[in-house]
Amino acid sequence: MPQRNCINALEKSFKRSKTIILPIEMPHYSSLVEDTHEFRLFLDHMIAQLPELFPEAITLGYHLHDKRASKKLEGVMIRRIKLVQLDEAGKGQVYSIVPSAVLPYMSGFTDEVEKALFLLRFGVPFWALTYAFGRNDSYWYRQYCHYGRYGIVETTIQDKNQIPEHLLADEKHSKINGEKCYIATTVGDDCVLGVAVSMRADEKSLTAAYKTVKEEVNMLDNEYKPETVNTDGWFATQKAWLTLFPSIVIIECFLHAYISIRARCKRKHKAVWGDIQEKVWDIYHATSAITFQKQVEALSLWAEEHVGGTALDKINKLCGKADRFVIAFDHPNAYRTSNMIDRHMEPMNRRLTSMRYFHGHLTSAERQIRGWALFHNFGPYCPRSKVSEEWISPAHKLNGKKYHDNWLHNLLISTSCSPVLILSHKKR
């Protein structure tokens, strides 16, 4: 089958959205639009209560600019405001005030599509959504891709003080038009903070992929410097993070070392596998760096007498990395294993598998996986999970607050004035 044109790299830039989305139901909004005095009172109240949803310059004042009737949704009027502060061109910026009950680009009402979009997290194909909820496959596909335009970091995190200091990073292997690609994924505080599709897994390509996370974080806090990042042993990943954040400390994943040993020992050395397993995890649970080093030395001596072949090589490899693993004791809040990122990459994998991976251009692949990340961050926890007793979603847990009880309303409100990603590409 002939391949479509693929791309070497994406050129990325950001611009600020000129849409302010507020937690207000449609009937209330419609009545406010018709009453200038009440609308201003409501807006002033929102600015005081939820300043993060507005541009900073709004504190200097604004005017009620005009109102426009939607050409797509009958009966929907949108009020616009104009800031007093002038931009570089000597003009006041104009923003649209939109209720969360309306979808972006007036493509529908939130409550009519939120259940269908919720199912996308579980790998339901677009044609199945058409069968169950109507419209057509292209409509659901466009809805899904649209959210990939928003900045993941600033949409997920509303306060720069909540940006995690300890991160995890890994690449999910995938395909685009049958060609192998890698999804550079960044996680922190149980939220996906960055995803970018890279056609290669070398240092240069991964640096460009992870750079998107840095750019997004810097738009929220230009002085942000993460303390640690947990990675596997892939050298290119570690070099990419050191290039982007020279002061960051690399914490190598202990779990990967254990898995590598398990693959060589569980069958070939059944008689001593239980002892190996216990000794390796005793090392992990050491209470101090000194104890850790002593237990590593003890494991190395024991393995020389009881294990051989490739199994011994893997155990010696773990012991040889003791200096890397012991760094974690200087950063008690750092992630020592990849469990946190693995919990997010598993549902990512289910979604990719159900889609049969990516097809078309790299731009569409980038938007799809970014849209998945935001759906994942704002999608509700399973009601049976213990965490759902206190938080409704990972984003709610990270921020400690929510704007609306419904997950899609909450996501739309969080995109208010969010950075919008602009993608362009070069063909091979």
β-pair partners for 180: 175
How many Å apart are CA 286 and CA 48, to the nearest integer? 49
Q: Which helix (H) or strand (E) holds 64?
A: strand 62-69
- State residue 8's pLDDT score: 56
* φ/ψ of residue 165, rounded to 5: -85, -20
- State residue 74's pLDDT score: 87
- State residue 205's pLDDT score: 95
| pLDDT, tens digit, 9 for 90 and up, residues 325-356 | 999 999 999 999 999 999 999 999 999 998 88
- State residue 388's pLDDT score: 93
| pLDDT, tens digit, 9 for 90 and up, residues 35-75 | 999 999 999 999 999 999 999 999 999 999 999 998 889 88
How many Å apart are CA 389 and CA 38, to the nearest integer? 37
Query: How big is the chain by its Cα radius of gyration, in Å?
Result: 25
**Tokens describing residue 213:** 């996370």
Pairing of strands 62-69, 77-86: antiparallel
- State residue 3's pLDDT score: 43
Taking 50 as the pLDDT cut, the residues of the chain under it are 1-5, 7, 428
How many CB atoms within 10 Å of residue 181? 22
Length of the chain, in residues: 428
- State residue 2's pLDDT score: 38
- The number of angstroms, rounded, from the C-alpha of 29 to the middle of its chain's C-alpha atoms is 31
E strand spans, 32-102:
62-69, 77-86, 92-99
Are the CB atoms for 428 and 8 separated by under 8 Å? Answer: yes
Domains and CATH numbers, the chain: 14-106 (no CATH), 148-252+338-400+418-427 (3.30.420.10), 254-330 (no CATH)
**Tokens describing residue 31:** 């009545």
Pairing of strands 19-22, 92-99: parallel
Q: Name the H helices within 266-406.
A: 270-284, 289-306, 309-320, 322-325, 339-354, 362-378, 394-399
